[in-house]
Protein backbone atom coordinates (compact mmCIF):
# COMPACT_ATOMS: atom_id res chain seq x y z
CA UNK A 1 0.00 0.00 0.00
CA UNK A 2 2.69 2.48 0.95
CA UNK A 3 4.59 1.75 -2.26
CA UNK A 4 1.49 2.29 -4.38
CA UNK A 5 0.60 5.50 -2.55
CA UNK A 6 4.11 6.94 -2.78
CA UNK A 7 4.24 6.07 -6.48
CA UNK A 8 0.85 7.66 -7.14
CA UNK A 9 1.08 10.78 -4.93
CA UNK A 10 4.83 11.04 -4.33
CA UNK A 11 6.24 11.37 -0.82
CA UNK A 12 5.43 15.08 -0.75
CA UNK A 13 1.81 14.48 -1.73
CA UNK A 14 1.50 11.62 0.71
CA UNK A 15 2.90 13.81 3.50
CA UNK A 16 0.41 16.55 2.61
CA UNK A 17 -2.52 14.11 2.84
CA UNK A 18 -1.30 12.30 5.97
CA UNK A 19 1.07 14.65 7.81
CA UNK A 20 3.20 12.22 9.79
CA UNK A 21 6.93 12.53 10.21
CA UNK A 22 7.82 9.34 8.30
CA UNK A 23 6.20 10.82 5.16
CA UNK A 24 7.39 14.41 5.60
CA UNK A 25 10.97 14.30 6.93
CA UNK A 26 13.42 12.04 5.09
CA UNK A 27 10.74 9.59 3.90
CA UNK A 28 11.54 5.99 3.08
CA UNK A 29 9.61 2.79 2.75
CA UNK A 30 11.45 1.19 5.67
CA UNK A 31 10.79 4.06 8.10
CA UNK A 32 7.16 4.27 7.01
CA UNK A 33 6.51 0.56 7.50
CA UNK A 34 8.21 0.58 10.90
CA UNK A 35 6.05 3.52 12.03
CA UNK A 36 2.81 2.10 10.61
CA UNK A 37 3.33 -1.27 12.31
CA UNK A 38 3.44 0.51 15.68
CA UNK A 39 0.74 3.13 15.08
CA UNK A 40 -2.82 1.87 14.46
CA UNK A 41 -4.39 5.31 13.83
CA UNK A 42 -1.82 6.13 11.13
CA UNK A 43 -2.26 2.68 9.56
CA UNK A 44 -6.03 3.32 9.36
CA UNK A 45 -5.42 6.64 7.60
CA UNK A 46 -3.08 4.98 5.08
CA UNK A 47 -5.60 2.21 4.43
CA UNK A 48 -8.36 4.77 3.93
CA UNK A 49 -6.27 6.81 1.51
CA UNK A 50 -5.35 3.65 -0.39
CA UNK A 51 -9.01 2.70 -0.79
CA UNK A 52 -9.82 6.26 -1.90
CA UNK A 53 -7.03 6.12 -4.48
CA UNK A 54 -8.31 2.78 -5.79
CA UNK A 55 -11.85 4.16 -6.18
CA UNK A 56 -10.53 7.23 -8.01
CA UNK A 57 -8.44 5.09 -10.35
CA UNK A 58 -11.42 2.84 -11.14
CA UNK A 59 -13.57 5.87 -11.79
CA UNK A 60 -11.04 7.37 -14.22
CA UNK A 61 -10.08 4.16 -15.99
pLDDT-based confidence at 61, cuts 50/70/90?
confident
Q: pLDDT digit string (tens) for 7-40?
A: 999 999 999 999 999 999 999 999 999 999 999 9
Average pLDDT for 3-8? 96
What is the set of domains in the chain, with CATH numbers? 2-60 (1.10.720.30)
pLDDT of 27: 95
- Give 48-52's long-range contacts (Cβ < 8 A, gap of 24+): 49/5, 49/14, 49/17, 49/18, 50/1, 50/4, 50/5
Amino acid sequence: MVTALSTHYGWEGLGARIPVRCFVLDPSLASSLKFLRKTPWAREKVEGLYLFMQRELRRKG
